[in-house]
Amino acid sequence: MDGGRGEAVEVRAALLRMRRSGLLPVAFGGLVPSAGQQAGHGARHFRITELSGASTDSLRGLAITTGNGLGGKSLAMGRPYTVTDYRTSRVISHEYDAAVAAEGLRSVLAVPIVVHRRVRGVLYGALRQPYALGDRPMAMALDAARELEQALAIRDEAHRLLSYAQPPATSDPRAWEEVREAHAELRALAGRIPDMHLRQELLSACARLAGASTGAAPTAPPPAAPPQLTPRELDVLASVASGATNAVAAERLRLRPETVKSYLRSAMRKLGAHTRLEAVVAARRAGLLP
């Protein structure tokens, strides 16, 4: 999975959101390398990898160390900071003055990206004039940071689930229940991911889990032409198969309970089932569910 490329796309989207109103004409930032997020280790550095509105490449690839400069301070403290004039500020160190001056930046703000209580990177917004950055630019930067944090959290969850999305080596029913729960979570998460490649990887993992189940225990042979369930019908049925109620399935899939019932009824009709249990059994026999 090319997680780095997907994360870069998310960072660029956040920078564009910061610049949208025109209050922050220059925006840039980067994420901490994955090794910096290991348990028990704080983030020590990151590189500025994404630029939006910049007129030079002086900041691109710049390695920011914790505590150094405005971004390093935000990285170390996990808090947003601003300076009215970067080159004369007395509240930050000045290791990166040459790169900042080459881009002609004066007023700068830095906002940390915090996911699961860990600083994952920093977003910057800047002006080329020494103006005090007020509440509106800061609020816009914080909103962009929160959206990026949510996107990274979803991506992290996708990686976690994919690491567990393996058919069990045993026919133990308890092991298969764990697989079915992971399958339902993967399908629910796939619907929330805008990254087409990552979404397809999740759905492919779901298909592998569903296909592996046909050999887990003796069952009737699958029909020649399996019922064609829609993605949402299959999402609902996967949640039901993991033991979720309609209300829980609705919350997991971000649907209304009435919508869940509608999808379930439609799936049951296609599968020729009269109960939820019959529908789940029929879907498993068809290789649609693990």
List the chain pLDDT tens, one digit each, 290 residues. 455 677 888 999 999 999 988 899 999 999 998 754 443 345 688 999 999 999 999 999 999 999 999 999 999 999 999 999 999 999 999 999 999 999 999 999 999 999 988 999 999 999 999 999 999 999 999 999 999 998 898 888 887 777 666 666 666 667 677 777 778 888 888 888 777 777 787 888 888 777 766 554 444 454 556 788 998 999 999 888 888 899 988 998 889 999 999 999 999 999 999 998 898 888 888 888 88
Buried b (16+ CB within 10 A) or exposed e, 102-114: ebebbbbbbbbbb
Between vectors from CA 230 to CA 227 and to CA 232, what angle results, nearest 5°? 135
Q: Which residues in the chain are classed under CATH 3.30.450.40? A: 3-159
Q: Which residues in the chain are classed under CATH 1.10.10.10? A: 166-285
Structure tokens belonging to residue 23 = 């209050």
The CATH code of domain 166-285 reads 1.10.10.10
Calpha distance 8→128 (Å, rounded): 25
What CATH homologous superfamily does 3-159 map to? GAF domain (3.30.450.40)
Of 205, 230, 246, 245, the closest CA to residue 283 belongs to 230
Residue type, 43: A
